[in-house]
Amino acid sequence: MAAGSILVDNFAPPDVSVEQVHRANRVVETKWLISAALALVAFAVCCRLYHLDTKLFWCDEEITSMLCSSKTSAQFKDYSGKPMIAASWRQLEQVSSSAPTVEVLNNLIRRDHQDQAPIYYLFARAWMQSFGHSSGTLRLLSILFSLLAFPLVFVLARQLFDTDAAWLSVALIACSPFHLLYAQEARPYSMWLCAALVSWIAFVRAHQSGKREHWCASGLVNAIASLTHYSSFIAVAAMAASTFLTRRRPLVLGGALSIVFTGLFISPWIVWGGPGCFNSGHHFWLDSPIDPRCYAFACIEHAAKLFLDVNCQPSVFLKATDSLLFLSAATCSVVGYRQTTEQGRLVMQAAVLYAIAIALFDLVCGGRRLTVMRYMTPVLPLVQICVAACVVAVLRQRPRLGLLVSALLIASGVASCLVIASASTWWSKGAEWPLRVARLLNDNERSMWIGYADVETLEMSRLVHDSVLLERVTPERFSLPPPSIDTVFVFDRKGFVAPRLSAQGWLYNRIDGIDDILKLRRNAGLQPAASARRL
């Protein structure tokens, strides 16, 4: 077959049968794609399990543990002003057999930031009851969901393109730093990824068959995705808009049926929790004003982390690399839109509508959801699938160039995953100071920790030795360190702990490079410090 005909067939209009295009263009051997995909899946498993229990269990993961333990913030406050060893703090997060599972749902409703969807936490609670609440055990649930995503990506990519693109899609996602980061986190994002993939698969299937039962199944899956992460409501609306824009009566009716079933399946949760269960909370990245130019650069930077992320500070070289990766991915998405089936086009239209909706929220209401890439979880696999499809098209026309592009994409992902696997924490998981302070606490037997937040105190309990004293304090409930303690590390963002200790003869200093932590030493022979000074 001539190269020109291959080029024409690869960009054939969507009304040509996908099976005909496949038969006409089966000029590339798929064995190496299968081998590469399976090898990278094995590599992904190893990276996900490596040092899983020793990485920083940061505050967002502590929220998961707190919710699943069925204890409320008010119950944790009962322990305020009581110095306890780290082992006792960790026991507070154990799931009580006497507390019913329904308490997890009650916790989600009455939390200060009621922005957590329920399904993941029900799974996580059952997991903790069965296997324990250690850091590695709780993260293992996310790893299992992240591994389940591989066959789902394969099915979706084969629906949109062909088998070769499906195998390469699995390979790219297996070595993606973005997916590895959230696979190692005790949060809902890996489960949400699976739910979003199943939603796209059901959406395509319903459009292909037009059967009523498939539209109903799509509605059920959309409800599950929405109750895994509330941002999926936007994805559901985007799917409906993409369907309605076809202006085809059977599709419009099917889409309406799917929406009705989604509403029916989520209605029990709405009745249970009321409007408050969808409160988005207040986060600095959700309500802060934005600079459009900085916002655009942040979007580019974070989108590029699908393929390359080595935890480095931004530099000219990295910004140029990120821009190149972003433009390449965007170009591949456009080309993929031209190559895919009619149903695939509807999927990509819905993905674009989802991204536009997220960006509009940011631009109109303030915030930067679009630059917090986990909010783009339903869309990101589609980008990688389009990249894989374009690379396969290049392989069929120019095998050497296609192999080079594949090798570069895989090499950048593998390098990123190796760095992530060996790191104790990452840019997406907050500050590194807990690890540094924990080392100082472990090195000094006469030291203790005082913090005003239960989450940070529980986080510290996982990092220090069992016998280290920790105290969670409030302005109303505060006790002085016992006489055996001569050094105190204080997380004092509200500024009420240090002045009280200073009045009792403690001298305090700030630790270089850690703005939120004070180090206090007992020294009754000196006057109380009037102000903080750096060590």
Instruction: Report the mean per-residue pLDDT for the chain.
Output: 83
pLDDT score, position 531:
36
pLDDT score, position 112:
53
Looking at the structure, do residues 37 and 62 belong to the same domain, yes or no?
Answer: no
Q: Which residues contact 288 (CB under 8 A, 6 or more apart)?
A: 366, 367, 368
Which has more pLDDT, 16 or 523?
Answer: 523
Let me know if residue 395 belongs to a domain: yes
- Give yes or no for a contact between 68 and 105, defined as CB atoms under 8 angstroms apart: no
Let me know if residue 115 belongs to a domain: no
- 204 φ/ψ sector (left φ>0, alpha ψ -120 to 50, else beta): alpha
Smallest Cα–Cα separation from 157: which of 355, 337, 389? Answer: 389
Instruction: State the residue for tokens 């309406």.
Output: 256
pLDDT score, position 8:
41
Which has more pLDDT, 426 or 467?
Answer: 467
Let me know if residue 513 belongs to a domain: yes
Looking at the structure, do residues 217 and 337 belong to the same domain, yes or no?
Answer: yes
Looking at the structure, do residues 376 and 461 belong to the same domain, yes or no?
Answer: no
Q: How far is CA 154 from CA 157, 158, 162, 316, 388, in A?
A: 5, 6, 9, 36, 11
Q: Which residues of 463-483 are buried (b: 16+ CB within 10 A; e: fewer)?
A: bbeeebbbbbbeeeebeebee
Let me know if residue 123 belongs to a domain: no
Predicted confidence (pLDDT) per residue in 88-125, tens digit: 998 888 887 767 777 777 777 765 556 788 899 999 99
391, 421, 451: which is the final residue of a domain?
421
Instruction: State the residue for tokens 């509807």.
Output: 346
- Give yes or no for a contact between 374 and 191, defined as CB atoms under 8 angstroms apart: no
Predicted confidence (pLDDT) per residue in 53-96, tens digit: 888 898 889 888 888 887 766 777 778 888 999 999 988 888 87
Pull the structure tokens for residue 200.
């796209």
Amino acid (1-letter code) at residue 104: V
Smallest Cα–Cα separation from 76: which of 61, 87, 91? Answer: 91
Predicted confidence (pLDDT) per residue in 443-455, tens digit: 988 899 998 888 8
Looking at the structure, do residues 376 and 439 belong to the same domain, yes or no?
Answer: no
- Give yes or no for a contact between 302 and 323, defined as CB atoms under 8 angstroms apart: no
Looking at the structure, do residues 382 and 460 belong to the same domain, yes or no?
Answer: no
Distance between CA atoms of residues 71 and 65, nearest Å? 10
Let me know if residue 452 belongs to a domain: yes
400, 421, 442: which is the final residue of a domain?
421
Let me know if residue 426 belongs to a domain: no
Let me know if residue 101 belongs to a domain: no
Looking at the structure, do residues 398 and 504 belong to the same domain, yes or no?
Answer: no
Looking at the structure, do residues 406 and 480 belong to the same domain, yes or no?
Answer: no
Residue 15's pLDDT band, with cuts at 50, 70 and 90, is: low
Q: Is the pLDDT of residue 254 over 90?
A: yes
Rounded to an integer, the average pLDDT of 387-413 is: 89
Rounded to an integer, the average pLDDT of 480-493 is: 86
Mean pLDDT comparison of 237-241, 339-343, 474-478, highest-scoring range: 237-241
Looking at the structure, do residues 60 and 41 belong to the same domain, yes or no?
Answer: no
CB atoms within 10 A of CB 113: 12
- 348: enclosing H helix or E strand: helix 342-365
- Give yes or no for a contact between 62 and 458, defined as CB atoms under 8 angstroms apart: yes
CB atoms within 10 A of CB 256: 15
Rounded to an integer, the average pLDDT of 10-30 is: 52
Amino acid (1-letter code) at residue 221: V
Distance between CA atoms of residues 368 and 358, nearest Å? 9
Q: Are strands 514-522 and 506-511 parallel, antiparallel or unpaired?
A: antiparallel
pTM: 0.88
What is the 3-state composition of the chain as percent helix, strand, coil, each rounded to the nearest 5?
A: 65, 5, 30
- 491: enclosing H helix or E strand: strand 487-491
Predicted confidence (pLDDT) per residue in 226-236, tens digit: 999 988 999 99
- Give yes or no for a contact between 354 and 234, defined as CB atoms under 8 angstroms apart: yes
Rounded to an integer, the average pLDDT of 16-40 is: 68
Looking at the structure, do residues 61 and 150 belong to the same domain, yes or no?
Answer: no
Instruction: State the residue for tokens 């996982």.
Output: 462
Which has more pLDDT, 48 or 533?
Answer: 48
Distance between CA atoms of residues 520 and 502, nearest Å? 8
- Give yes or no for a contact between 309 and 178, defined as CB atoms under 8 angstroms apart: yes
Cβ neighbourhood burial of 397 (10 Å; 0-12, 13-18, 19+): middle
pLDDT score, position 183:
95
Distance between CA atoms of residues 500 and 495, nearest Å? 10
Dihedrals phi, psi of 263, to nearest 5 degrees: -60, -40
Residue 29's pLDDT band, with cuts at 50, 70 and 90, is: low
Q: Partners of 533 in the beta sheet?
A: 509
pLDDT score, position 353:
93
Pull the structure tokens for residue 69.
């333990």
Looking at the structure, do residues 65 and 42 belong to the same domain, yes or no?
Answer: no
pLDDT score, position 519:
87
pLDDT score, position 321:
80
CB hemisphere CA count around 276 (13 angstroms): 12
- Give yes or no for a contact between 375 and 229, defined as CB atoms under 8 angstroms apart: no
Instruction: Compute the Cα dihedral for 288, 294, 300, 306 and give only its sign.
Output: negative
Q: Partners of 449 in the beta sheet?
A: 470, 489
Q: Are strands 506-511 and 533-534 parallel, antiparallel or unpaired?
A: parallel
Distance between CA atoms of residues 28 and 39, nearest Å? 19
Share of the chain above pLDDT 70, in %: 84
Q: Where are the alpha helices (DSSP H) in 375-448?
A: 380-397, 399-422, 433-443
Mean pLDDT comparison of 14-18, 30-34, 371-375, 469-473, highest-scoring range: 469-473
Which has more pLDDT, 35 or 20?
Answer: 35
Cβ neighbourhood burial of 425 (10 Å; 0-12, 13-18, 19+): middle
Looking at the structure, do residues 477 and 450 belong to the same domain, yes or no?
Answer: yes
pLDDT score, position 329:
85
Q: Is the pLDDT of residue 26 over 70?
A: no
DSSP letter string, 248-304: -HHHHHHHHHHHHHHHHHHHHHHHHH-GGGG-----HHHHS---HHHHHHHHHHHHH
Predicted confidence (pLDDT) per residue in 262-319, tens digit: 999 998 888 876 655 555 444 444 556 667 777 777 778 878 888 988 877 666 777 7
Pull the structure tokens for residue 187.
């949060």
Looking at the structure, do residues 243 and 366 belong to the same domain, yes or no?
Answer: yes
Q: Which of 108-112, 175-179, 530-534 shows the lowest mean pLDDT across its residues? A: 530-534
Instruction: Give me the domain span that covers residue 33.
Output: 28-47+140-421
Q: How far apart are the first and last CA of the chain?
A: 74
Which has more pLDDT, 439 or 524?
Answer: 439
Pull the structure tokens for residue 92.
């507070």
Domain count, the chain: 2
Q: Partners of 451 in the beta sheet?
A: 472, 491
366, 391, 421: which is the final residue of a domain?
421
Q: Which residues contact 44 (CB under 8 A, 6 or more apart)?
A: 146, 147, 150, 174, 175, 180, 417
Let me know if residue 517 belongs to a domain: yes
DSSP code for 187? S
Residue 40's pLDDT band, with cuts at 50, 70 and 90, is: very high
pLDDT score, position 5:
42
Q: Which of 160-164, 172-176, 454-458 shows the lowest mean pLDDT across its residues? A: 454-458
322 CA to centre of own chain: 20
